[in-house]
């Protein structure tokens, strides 16, 4: 209730600051007798891990996860699963310069005003480092969902450069540092980001997540609609400014005829001719693919000087050093997948309760 | 927890089906000693009420609200406020034709599959009629917020036709049936919607809500960020497919320089040169205007025949009669305002708890 | 979260003041397709209804329940069930004398100080009238549990007079106005209460609830233990001052040998030689009978003058007229049963979610 | 929602098994800028720590707490506080003998049946070791409450031996290993427990907690009454079988005259002539001392052979070795205090929200 937990029956609580001793999370509500090892979580953390290419922050964190509870003889017991990740490469000195001022577009100002204090070292709790915990929780959510649910994310836009839907190939996603489904766009992005890195700038991005294998019936109208919980989950990720389901913002310009996903019977099963709804009708999954997109703004930590003010209320300029992602949207791909997994796991359990 | 409640400290629960005896809501958590009469709620319900112009559903509902509890001598007591609105103009016979089939793009199919039953009369709980309760709760939320919070909504797009930002005039909003801030666009929309009505079609729409007077510090990182809760609140409204904060989806194409809302001191107060963030940084209100937009898809109840299936799994076509909004987005304006008011009231109380 | 809701997956919210227009509740989370009519609820309300004998308050309320939502063609739909009970026999004038003073042992003082206001007419929300809503919710909880769960309550003590365990006969419970399982004690209580009524006094009481048919496995350690939730549910009933599970307070004087409920196999099934645990081990139901007791203090509304103070802080005396229960514990029997039913229904659904 | 969290605005979640690598908790909702060091928590953990006298378990745990987050420069930041306690003296081999059978009166059987698995080593999550986390959370709750709240617990009964109210001296409580307020009783208990230890038996106990300095107005009627939440909090502690507020179970035998706590004005302030209510009226604190008692059953781990069954359903006998508390109620004193502190801190924040 104080903001650091997500979900109801499958519920996780995260803790930790970017430059504190550790980050971690507690997952409560995992059903018992699911096979789970640290390796099952580590593979997903490794996807999000910083310092793997020149396109993400150069902070080197092993992000090694330790399971502290809730697993006995490699099976979940039904008790809370606690995960710990020690911080090992925090360089708090990098932040001495910004100790007494606010970075424009950053949470510095609002945290300071809300709480009357501020952990200026690496933004404390507002750091994207927190998202490692989301990925860890998401790894367990995937275990709860089982292999029938197929959750895949892709980066579809960096700055002005969008992928081509015609060249979309899911196989490509794991073969480049951008989770890009379009080989030609990869080259374009590399060049664009190299330019940004040199100039100390940053870029926004767009991510798309697609889920196959979702059974009909997940979602609790009218306030805990599946899409409402997805929107909350994605909008809670650092730097996200917009969320769409299915045809999203574009539906504003549709007519009823264009928007209707017509229904057919194919080989005895219900099918739809289109999927503008993005797999959710009335807040409940329809059995179609769930399709969602979210926009990530450029990181506000740039070296270009920006006008700002000091904590004492004087006007000044700031140029942020430290190690930052030129495009924080890249690492948002596994984070977005994880949040979707957590929303679905929660709603799967909630649905089972009324069966 | 079962989906029909919203908020935590300022929390409301709604009930009722479109063609049942009544709809209503219970609001728990309203602080005591706030002046409140039925009239305070009725004025907001009247804004959303159907049947007022030819551009909304022709169902005639008085939407007369009765306060059943929580108010003594015109003041809130701190106990739950229960509101009741009787249904008076339900014509369930209109729905006999669709009793055994699913309307494409509608919740018919998913409700039936999730719950194993279906109130086909006016869509039961999935009806937009439920939103009257949101507006009623929102009226009380505004009382909790007080007059400093200034929440205003406008319709900014119907189908392909967008308002002009240059001609934006808040004064116009209450002077036309569309909550349109741009007089010239009103004429265009009238003609466009008359055409759609005649052809039995419908149109999507876009709404923008702007809030002035929000103090710094509302929002609970990292999962109950103010924008995350706004996204959930808006996405939970019937037919909404996308939500944006500030520059929203467009930030994907920004550079860090473009996105930074630079800070200045003006007359001793903190000001910002731009507001791409939409008034929220790190999930906490910054004191700037909160700006949000959401897209409403066209209503799926159209007379143009669409391919669909019966509940028995046979292919057929459907043409929906009954009385429907040609553009359900119009009435979504007061609903969106109400949801924002409720999110803010909840976070105002949550913030007070830690002061 | 603001105090007027109970449960998680089976969750109800009550509203209404003793002398307002109505009381009622909204039950969210009822699984779909359960047969439910107003009569199913009315039979339980009639058990608690005031004015039926000279041993309860003489206020005459029909307590006629109306189902406003959540039921279609006599089956639950899975949407919230709203229940309304109009107040018809409130005599607010009776309370004019106590408008400006506090009754000792009553909530008058604390409500006034907490909320800065006070509905002095029949105690407003603090009235035992609120418990009608608990009974209504309990009626639906029983439907969720199904006939396998057998929940029975009995009054086992009024003032100094306890029932005899040797003469205990469940058949007697419905045959006297006290829910007393011991015919001989009935006579004693009648005479005792007639004396109290004449002198304008009141008496405390003890209730025991026994549940058969509870499956093994309900309860969520470590904070939502089944007994912890029972304790909360019972302690939340007006005037309750103590709650016990199994051998309860007496276990403080036991040795480990005395306390151990030894286990055997009887006809292939697990059995226990005793039931000091009251059917709950480690917060989880064991399959034994759940046994719980709770103490209800004497109603504080008595005609004997008591020293008190006015709202203006002057010393005075008060003698409460109005219509009150000489032993409010009598009507607490169906209320206690209802709360147990609600706790069990909630935990049944919660358990199903992890299966 | 899955059982391992407690509270709403001041909310903690615990994790960890008795013989796993660690136990710990995450506290969310602590207001910012409260001075907090590990030492502030350690002093309370040391009170509960095992192995300090011959009257508690001989397991030697340092119970050294590490703060992982939420504190910056010795002040709370308003973000979640995570606490970690490594297990260092688990001797899992001791439990090999009971691996395949259930101890009567223990959670072995119900955990196994509910979850389909069982961490037999030291009872896993059902171990009283979990209560160290409650004490840690309670230490922070005390900081939130501030020094005005004075929470004190005492052991008032072991087996058949009760303290004398006439000889009650709070000063004595910290001077003996039992938290006993009566010096003469200490001698009696030592001799009684030495006898039990030799025979391998165990004893029940009763604890009383008294809180001074509670402001008027804490508690949220009607379901989150202050006493209802206290009852839940105390009943959730391992082995607790009964909870009383004020005169508790005894009120069943009272008349209205006996029960009324009459009110007076003394030196301009409201006072009460008695405190049968235990400081809570209508679920709201009255400003009087809050008085509560709870009964702890004897630990079920005794060496006397008891009849039981194996996990395979065969009848057998069990004699529990390992290291156990002969009277687990002794260490329940600081645990009970901690739970009361947490309930009060939660309600203090909840009350502030509506002021």
Contact (Cβ atoms closer than 8 angstroms) between residue D330 and residue D50:
no
Cα–Cα distance for residue pair B255/A196, rounded to 1 Å: 9
| pLDDT, tens digit, 9 for 90 and up, residues B18-61 | 999 999 999 999 999 999 999 999 999 998 777 778 777 777 77
CB atoms within 10 A of CB C52: 14
Antiparallel, parallel or unpaired: β D5-6 and D11-16: antiparallel
Contact (Cβ atoms closer than 8 angstroms) between residue B55 and residue B193:
yes
Contact B17 C79 (CB under 8 A): yes
Contact A15 D119 (CB under 8 A): no
Contact C2 B11 (CB under 8 A): yes
Cα–Cα distance for residue pair C177/C53, rounded to 1 Å: 7
Contact D355 B31 (CB under 8 A): yes
Q: What is the pLDDT of residue A323?
A: 63
The stretch A107-132 carries a mean pLDDT of: 92
Cα–Cα distance for residue pair D136/D27, rounded to 1 Å: 9
**Residue D333 DSSP symbol:** H
Torsion of CA A123, A126, A132, A134, to 10 degrees: 170
- Tokens encoding B250: 């467009």
Residue in A79, A221, A353 nearest the CB of C353: A353
| pLDDT, tens digit, 9 for 90 and up, residues A57-109 | 777 778 899 999 999 999 999 999 999 999 987 777 777 888 899 999 999 99
Cα–Cα distance for residue pair D151/D343, rounded to 1 Å: 12
Find, in chain B, the residue whose alpha carbon is nearest to that of D346. Answer: B353
Q: What is the pLDDT of residue D323?
A: 63
Cα–Cα distance for residue pair B222/B244, rounded to 1 Å: 18
Distance from CA of D179 to the nearest CA of C (A): 16
Residue to test with chain A: of C140, C284, C354, C355, most A Cβ within 10 A = C354
Residue B107's pLDDT band, with cuts at 50, 70 and 90, is very high
CB atoms within 10 A of CB D345: 30
Length of chain A measured in residues: 355
Angstrom distances, CA of residue D171 to CA of A71, D107, D146, D340, D354: 45, 37, 21, 21, 38
Find, in chain D, the residue whose alpha carbon is nearest to that of C134. Answer: D223
Cα–Cα distance for residue pair B75/B170, rounded to 1 Å: 32
- Is 80 exceeded by the pLDDT of residue D49? no
Cα–Cα distance for residue pair B45/B22, rounded to 1 Å: 15
Contact (Cβ atoms closer than 8 angstroms) between residue B177 and residue B52:
yes
The stretch A319-324 carries a mean pLDDT of: 73
Contact C355 A355 (CB under 8 A): no
Contact B22 C119 (CB under 8 A): no
- Tokens encoding B183: 């007089």
Contacts of C among chains (3+ CB pairs under 8 A): A, B, D
Beta strands in B101-204 (DSSP E): 150-158, 161-162
Q: What is the pLDDT of residue D57?
A: 75
Q: What is the pLDDT of residue B323?
A: 63
Distance from CA of C355 to the nearest CA of B (A): 19
Secondary element (H or E) of residue C24: strand C22-28
CB atoms within 10 A of CB C311: 14
| pLDDT, tens digit, 9 for 90 and up, residues C63-119 | 899 999 999 999 999 999 999 999 987 777 777 888 899 999 999 999 999 999 988
| pLDDT, tens digit, 9 for 90 and up, residues C29-44 | 999 999 999 999 999 9
Beta strands in B73-204 (DSSP E): 75-76, 81-86, 150-158, 161-162
Residue B178's pLDDT band, with cuts at 50, 70 and 90, is very high
Q: What is the pLDDT of residue C294?
A: 98
Say which residue, D89 or A113, is predicted with more confidence: A113
Angstrom distances, CA of residue B346 to CA of A1, C172, D57, D132, D224: 11, 51, 47, 34, 19
Contacts of A among chains (3+ CB pairs under 8 A): B, C, D
Cα-Cα-Cα-Cα dihedral sign, residues A177, A19, B219, B291? negative
Burial of D217 (0-12, 13-18, 19+ CB in 10 A): buried
What ipTM is given for this predicted complex? 0.97
Q: What is the pLDDT of residue C322?
A: 65
**What b/e readout covers B180-205, taking b as 16+ CB neighbours within 10 angstroms?**
bbbeebbebbbebbeebbeebbbbbb
Contact A29 C78 (CB under 8 A): no
Find, in chain B, the residue whose alpha carbon is nearest to that of A244. Answer: B242
Residue C323's pLDDT band, with cuts at 50, 70 and 90, is low
| pLDDT, tens digit, 9 for 90 and up, residues B245-289 | 999 999 999 999 999 999 999 999 999 999 999 999 999 999 999
What values do phi and psi take at A291, rounded to 5? Answer: -125, 125
Residue in D1, D79, D352 nearest the CB of B353: D352
Residue B94's pLDDT band, with cuts at 50, 70 and 90, is confident
Specify the range with the lowest mean pLDDT, choosing from A69-83, A242-256, D226-240, D292-306. Answer: D292-306
**What b/e readout covers B328-340, taking b as 16+ CB neighbours within 10 angstroms?**
bbbbbbbbbbbbb
What residues have CB less than 8 Å from C251, skipping those under 6 apart?
A: C259, C276, D204, D241, D242, D295, D296, D297, D298
Query: What's the mean per-residue pLDDT of chain D?
Result: 94
Residue in C11, C16, C82 nearest the CB of B2: C11
Which residues of D fall within a CB distance of 8 Å from C304?
256-257
| pLDDT, tens digit, 9 for 90 and up, residues B309-321 | 999 999 999 987 7
Tell me if the bond preceding A113 is cis, omega within 30° of 0.
no
Contact A223 B236 (CB under 8 A): yes
**Residue A346 DSSP symbol:** H
List for chain B the helix, strand, coil content (%; round to 5).
35, 25, 45
Cα–Cα distance for residue pair C226/A235, rounded to 1 Å: 36
Q: Between vectors from CA A140 to CA A137 and to CA A142, what angle results, nearest 5°?
A: 110
| pLDDT, tens digit, 9 for 90 and up, residues B179-198 | 999 999 999 999 999 999 88
Antiparallel, parallel or unpaired: β C81-86 and C65-67: antiparallel
Q: What is the pLDDT of residue A56?
A: 76
Of D343, D256, B271, B302, which is closest to residue C199 (Cα–Cα)? D256
Which residues of B fall within a CB distance of 8 Å from A1?
8
Residue in C20, C77, C80 nearest the CB of B4: C80
Angstrom distances, CA of residue D343 to CA of A102, B355, C4, D12, D145: 37, 19, 17, 11, 10
pTM above 0.95, yes or no: yes
Distance from CA of B353 to the nearest CA of C (A): 13
CB atoms within 10 A of CB B145: 20
Contact A28 D2 (CB under 8 A): yes
Secondary element (H or E) of residue D321: none
Contacts of D among chains (3+ CB pairs under 8 A): A, B, C
The stretch B80-93 carries a mean pLDDT of: 88
Residue to test with chain C: of D114, D119, D333, most C Cβ within 10 A = D114
Q: What is the pLDDT of residue A322?
A: 64
Contact (Cβ atoms closer than 8 angstroms) between residue B330 and residue B56:
yes
CB atoms within 10 A of CB A77: 26
The stretch C229-243 carries a mean pLDDT of: 98
Contact B28 C14 (CB under 8 A): no
Residue in A157, A201, A284 nearest the CB of B256: A201
Residue in A31, A79, A354 nearest the CB of C31: A354
Q: Chains C and D: how many Cβ contacts under 8 Å?
A: 372
What residues have CB less than 8 Å from A348, skipping those under 6 apart?
A: A10, A144, A145, A218
**Residue B289 DSSP symbol:** P
Count H helices and E strands in chain A, helices first.
Answer: 7, 18
Contact D15 A5 (CB under 8 A): no
- Is 80 exceeded by the pLDDT of residue D1? no
Cα–Cα distance for residue pair B308/A156, rounded to 1 Å: 33
Of D331, D36, D221, which is closest to residue C17 (Cα–Cα)? D221
The stretch A159-163 carries a mean pLDDT of: 97
Which residues of B fall within a CB distance of 8 Å from D9?
350, 353
| pLDDT, tens digit, 9 for 90 and up, residues D308-350 | 999 999 999 998 776 678 899 999 999 999 999 999 999 999 9
Contact (Cβ atoms closer than 8 angstroms) between residue A165 and residue A293:
no
What residues have CB less than 8 Å from C168, skipping those under 6 apart?
A: C154, C181, C182
Distance from CA of D204 to the nearest CA of C (A): 4
Contact D160 C202 (CB under 8 A): no
- Report the interhelical angle of D38-48 vs D131-145 (nearest 10°): 130
Which residues of D fall within a CB distance of 8 Å from A114?
78
Residues of B contacting chain C (CB within 8 angstroms): 1-5, 8-9, 11, 13-17, 20-24, 26, 28-29, 32-33, 66, 68-70, 72, 75, 77-82, 84, 114-117, 119, 124-125
Contact (Cβ atoms closer than 8 angstroms) between residue A174 and residue A269:
no
Q: What is the pLDDT of residue B250?
A: 98
- Tokens encoding C119: 């509905």
Partner residues linked to B245 by β-bridges: B292
Cα–Cα distance for residue pair A156/A154, rounded to 1 Å: 6
Cα C155 off chain centre by: 12
Query: What's the mean per-residue pLDDT of chain C?
Result: 94
Q: What is the pLDDT of residue D2?
A: 87
Burial of A124 (0-12, 13-18, 19+ CB in 10 A): buried
**Residue B30 DSSP symbol:** P
Cα–Cα distance for residue pair D353/C83, rounded to 1 Å: 29
Residue to test with chain D: of C1, C282, C303, most D Cβ within 10 A = C282
Find, in chain B, the residue whose alpha carbon is nearest to that of A217. Answer: B114
Contact D15 A116 (CB under 8 A): no
Q: What is the pLDDT of residue C49?
A: 78
**Portion of chain D with pLDDT greater than 90, in percent:** 84
Tell me if the bond preceding D222 is cis, omega within 30° of 0.
yes
| pLDDT, tens digit, 9 for 90 and up, residues A33-57 | 999 999 999 999 998 777 777 877 7
């Amino acid at each position: 209730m104080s903001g650091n937990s997500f979900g109801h029956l499958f519920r996780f609580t995260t803790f930790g600051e970017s430059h504190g001793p550790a980050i971690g999370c507690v997952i409560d509500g995992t059903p018992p007798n699911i096979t789970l090892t640290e390796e099952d979580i580590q593979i997903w953390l490794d996807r999000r891990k910083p310092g793997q290419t020149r396109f993400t922050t150069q902070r080197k964190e092993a992000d090694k996860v330790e399971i502290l509870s809730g697993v006995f003889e490699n099976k979940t017991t039904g008790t809370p699963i606690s995960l710990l990740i020690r911080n090992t490469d925090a360089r708090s000195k990098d932040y001495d310069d910004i100790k007494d001022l606010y970075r424009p577009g950053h949470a510095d100002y609002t945290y300071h005003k809300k709480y009357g204090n501020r952990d200026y070292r690496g933004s404390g709790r507002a750091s994207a480092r927190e998202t490692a915990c989301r990925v860890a929780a998401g790894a367990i959510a995937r275990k709860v969902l089982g292999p029938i649910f197929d959750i895949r994310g892709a980066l579809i836009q960096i700055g002005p450069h969008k992928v081509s839907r015609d060249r979309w190939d899911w196989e490509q996603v794991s073969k480049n540092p951008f989770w890009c489904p379009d080989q030609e766009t990869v080259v374009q992005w590399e060049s664009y980001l190299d330019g940004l890195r040199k100039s100390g700038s940053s870029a926004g991005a767009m991510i798309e997540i697609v889920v196959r294998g979702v059974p009909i019936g997940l979602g609790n109208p009218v306030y805990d609609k599946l899409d409402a919980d997805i929107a909350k989950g994605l909008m809670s990720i650092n730097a996200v400014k917009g969320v769409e389901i299915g045809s999203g913002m574009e539906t504003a310009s549709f007519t009823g005829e264009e928007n209707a996903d017509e229904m057919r019977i194919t080989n005895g099963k219900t099918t739809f001719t289109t999927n503008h709804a993005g797999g959710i009708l009335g807040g409940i999954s329809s059995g179609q693919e769930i399709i969602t997109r979210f926009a990530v703004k450029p990181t506000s930590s740039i070296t270009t000087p920006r006008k700002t003010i000091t904590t004492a209320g004087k006007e000044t300029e700031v140029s942020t050093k430290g190690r930052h992602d030129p495009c924080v949207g890249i690492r948002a791909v596994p984070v977005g997948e994880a949040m979707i997994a957590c929303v679905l796991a929660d709603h799967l359990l909630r649905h089972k309760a009324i069966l």
